[in-house]
């Protein structure tokens, strides 16, 4: 199951962010859809700087930034912050977890937590960037990008289909809270699972499980749908509320209660504006 294209999962302080930038998404074409989940387009025109925060998915993103250039963004294990100033635009391709490794044949774990110039991965990336920046519509940018991908496909890789199936289950099924439950369901030895995840996803299976549960928790808190943190912690598979709160603050920088309070304040501001 994919994340809905209008989902705010992974976006921290979504209502606050929405006041400072626009976000649109574009579905991939049929040939690229096995590897690319969606394209995203962010634009801003600000009088005062704003720092946008994201809790990234276990996905590689390729971005074309104006101003800036073209980049391959490995899986970020920390909160990602982007300071938005003046006027700017980003056209990004979000790959399925494992998709970039499958389509390129690269070991995605080798560039986790890194942002690389596009040319570091594709020697002819400058040509692609020039073509993307020249186009005047996002539909045409998508077409240019997908034509480039077709010319750079690695041989078909059945291991990717298994990885994608496992990651999809991790994202959708909150009852999957431990790695041993994953290995049992999919009948995959733990060392094989870890090796596949490092090669294709870029991070370990335990990290992916925890990240998706944090996404779930942050989304519910931002919507004001949490009445008891202890019940939320249990529903997300944490041992207790203290463990959830500790990990939430480590990754997001606020306790769950602080995050919910900031979301409520943003909602109040939006209603008054």
Residue 201 token pair: 């996803």
pLDDT of residue 4: 47
pLDDT of residue 262: 94
Q: For the segment 196-229, what is each residue's pLDDT rounded down to a tens digit?
A: 999 999 999 999 999 999 999 999 999 999 989 9
pLDDT of residue 3: 45
pLDDT of residue 100: 96
pLDDT of residue 6: 62
DSSP letter assigned to residue 79:
-
Q: For the segment 105-138, what is each residue's pLDDT rounded down to a tens digit?
A: 999 999 999 999 999 999 999 999 999 999 999 9
Task: Tell me, yes or no, if the pTM score tops 0.85.
Answer: yes
Note if the bond before 265 is cis, omega within 30 degrees: no
Q: Could you count the other beta carbons within 10 Å of the beta carbon of residue 185?
A: 13
Distance CA 6, CA 72 (A): 23
Residue 8 token pair: 């705010």
CB within 8 Å of 132: residues ≥ 6 apart: 64, 70, 91, 141, 144, 145
Closest CA to 264 of 226, 224, 229: 224
Query: What pLDDT band is residue 1 in, cutting at 50, 70 and 90?
Result: very low
Distance CA 68, CA 100 (A): 22
Torsional sign, CA 93, 96, 101, 107: positive
Closest CA to 96 of 177, 208, 184, 180: 208
Q: For the segment 227-258, what is each residue's pLDDT rounded down to a tens digit?
A: 899 999 999 989 899 999 999 999 999 999 99
Whether the per-residue pLDDT at 5 is higher than 60: the answer is no
3-class DSSP state of 241: helix
Distance CA 259, CA 152 (A): 42
Q: For the segment 145-181, what is each residue's pLDDT rounded down to a tens digit?
A: 999 999 888 888 889 999 999 999 999 998 888 999 9
């Amino acid at each position: 199951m994919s994340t809905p294209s209008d989902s705010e999962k992974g976006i921290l302080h979504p209502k606050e962010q929405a006041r400072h930038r626009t976000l649109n998404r574009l579905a991939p074409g049929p040939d690229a859809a096995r590897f690319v989940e969606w394209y995203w387009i962010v634009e801003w025109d600000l009088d005062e700087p704003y720092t946008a925060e994201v809790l990234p998915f276990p996905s590689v993103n390729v971005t074309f930034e104006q101003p800036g250039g073209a980049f391959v963004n490995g899986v970020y294990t920390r909160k990602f912050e982007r300071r938005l100033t003046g006027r700017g635009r980003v056209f990004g391709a979000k790959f399925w977890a494992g998709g970039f490794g499958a389509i390129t044949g690269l070991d995605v774990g080798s560039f986790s937590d890194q942002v690389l110039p596009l040319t570091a991965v594709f020697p002819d990336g400058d040509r692609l960037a020039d073509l993307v920046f020249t186009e005047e519509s996002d539909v045409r940018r998508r077409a240019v990008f997908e034509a480039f991908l077709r010319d750079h496909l690695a041989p078909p890789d059945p291991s990717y289909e298994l990885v994608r199936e496992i990651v999809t289950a991790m994202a959708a099924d909150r009852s999957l809270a431990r790695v041993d439950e994953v290995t049992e369901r999919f009948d995959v030895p733990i060392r094989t699972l870890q090796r596949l995840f490092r090669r294709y996803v870029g991070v370990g299976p335990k990290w992916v499980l925890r990240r998706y549960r944090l996404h779930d928790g942050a989304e519910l808190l931002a919507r004001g749908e949490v009445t008891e943190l202890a019940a939320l912690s249990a529903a997300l598979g944490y041992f207790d509320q203290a463990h959830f709160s500790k990990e939430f603050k480590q990754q997001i920088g606020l306790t769950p209660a602080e995050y919910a309070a900031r979301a409520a304040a943003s909602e109040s501001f939006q209603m008054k504006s």
